[in-house]
Amino acid sequence: MLFGSKEKIELKVIGMTCGHCEAKIQQAVSQLPGVKKVTASRTNGTVTIEPESDTLNLQTIKETIELLGYQVTE
């Protein structure tokens, strides 16, 4: 799924328990093409992504987070 550059995407993520978890997700997702900014919140159980281009692959983001050991539930 591709998104326009003005939208923010918020994913529900299960398994974040500390600041290290947040940082690990932020670092990995920020390296993906089309990602401008990533904010992970263990308190809210969310990851918010701001696209920097007009194409962003949501499936790739989900897979990246899941490969780190977290569950994306949307």
Instruction: Give the pLDDT confidence of 22-72 residue by residue, as tens digits.
Output: 999 999 999 999 899 999 999 999 999 998 877 788 899 999 999 999 999
The pLDDT of residue 3: 52
Indicate the pLDDT class of residue 6, thresholds 50, 70 and 90: low
Where are the chain's structural domains? 18-72
Calculate the alpha carbon distances from 46 to 29, 54 in Å: 13, 22
The pLDDT of residue 1: 47
Residue 71, phi then psi, degrees to nearest 5: -110, 125
16-27 average pLDDT score: 97
* 18-72 is a CATH 3.40.1710.10 domain: no
Residue 68, phi then psi, degrees to nearest 5: -80, -10
- Give the helix ranges, DSSP H, for 1-74: 19-30, 58-67
